[in-house]
Structure 1
């Protein structure tokens, strides 16, 4: 019995490595992560929740990445946007079937899980008050899910593809217009891919009342928590 136990312990690192290099993700695990937002009862009208796949390091390619739900009765492609986000299919049948989310790459090369961000507007006009509320809503949710620590809302960030020519301006209530400066960086804090064109709107740097006007829809709006 002692020899069997030693053999099992010796195999644990290999099993962990095999799981890390696997090309599939357990649907039930993803479901449990995603359901937190669905059950969250506080205001969240400015927020959206996606299942997101993102590279662990810069050497891992995100282009061409495909995510598919496989169950006993279904094979469903889950399109990923430019930031690796997919609309998650909540399915009792897939849960009961112990379905798998498969990648066309090794899952161990990527981080995955629920990802909350601020909803974009098709008209490109965001009131300063709404953006402040959106940031506070996201912060409250992260506190609820024990991810925020002692941070507070400093602003929001609009992200575009690197070669996009979009412009982002702040229109004060009194009529003054301030162009937000573009820089290169990650769409979200902590991402290893930092090749997006981003515009940072810091609440303290501009008047409290006004609007942020974008010339086209951003890939994402992230909360700046500091």
Structure 2
């Protein structure tokens, strides 16, 4: 069975909604050698070429989440393409998995994320993850995501627990600078064309408060693109609060905030 058919079968079985919440983790491209490069959420093996990277290198990074044995039921992992230029867009950017036996486009969501295919055939064929852009304008990364709720109701304590799970994973993989960080909140990101995200906090003091909307990248530290974002900051003793965040629309991404 050739690579293309294997990829099609894999994606049909495992393709999941890409509107997950996320924390970026770098597999950035380096100019001349492999390196370890971090963003707001991880580490990665860099490649000398800016428009492609080895599937084997990406696999070795992505598989660490699959093998991670500590609590992770509130978070998930995706592969991500990120602009390196401030305000840059992902419009028209395409990602494909290519090998001598075939190629397949990997669907990117609005935040540049794709479901990563774990395929022995692609590993054996030394396949490439290839962008349809040349030059040093983009990087390819791992994104650790908080799993969204279908009902749009997020308990404050659960959001805090999800943030802590993400932080624990980033520390486990050796993300530089994470040892002294702490979780301070989460950022909800929406496409700019959304008229009003209308996120509100209920059960706290005051009992019902609408959170303000800002324009910022979905992931802390990104150069772009810019989304409508809403940040919920944790209160002291969040685990004891009965606060809830109500989201009327499903977010494109939710990312952890660390300080």
Superposition TM-score, scaled by structure 1 size:
0.86
Q: Does the Cα contact within 8 Å between 1:184 and 1:194 map onto a contact in 2?
A: no
Distance 1:182-1:60 versus aligned 2 partners, 3 A rule: closer
Question: What is the deviation of 1:170?
Answer: 0.7
Equivalenced residue count is: 211
Equivalent residue, structure 2, for 1:178: 209
Unaligned ranges ≥5, structure 2: 1-30, 34-46
Distance 1:194-1:70 versus aligned 2 partners, 3 A rule: closer
Equivalent residue, structure 2, for 1:35: 63
Moved more, 183-192 or 168-177: 168-177
Structure richer in helix, relative to its length: 1
Equivalent position SS for 2:64: helix
Question: What is the deviation of 1:144?
Answer: 0.4
Moved more, 103-112 or 25-34: 103-112
Distance 1:107-1:53 versus aligned 2 partners, 3 A rule: farther
Equivalent residue, structure 1, for 2:25: none
Q: Does 1:89 align with 2:117?
A: yes
Structure 2 residue corresponding to 1:135, chosen from 139, 163, 177: 163
Equivalent residue, structure 2, for 1:102: 130
Which one has the largest radius of gyration? 1
Residues 37-116 of structure 1: matches in 2 within 5 Å?
A: 37-58=65-86, 60-106=88-134, 108-116=136-144
Partners of 2:163 and 2:80 in 1: CA distance: 20
Question: What is the deviation of 1:138?
Answer: 0.5
Q: Stretches of 4+ moved more than 4 A in 1?
A: 19-22
Instruction: Output the aligned Cα RMSD.
Output: 2.2
Equivalent position SS for 1:141: helix
Equivalent position SS for 2:80: strand
Q: Does 1:16 align with 2:32?
A: yes
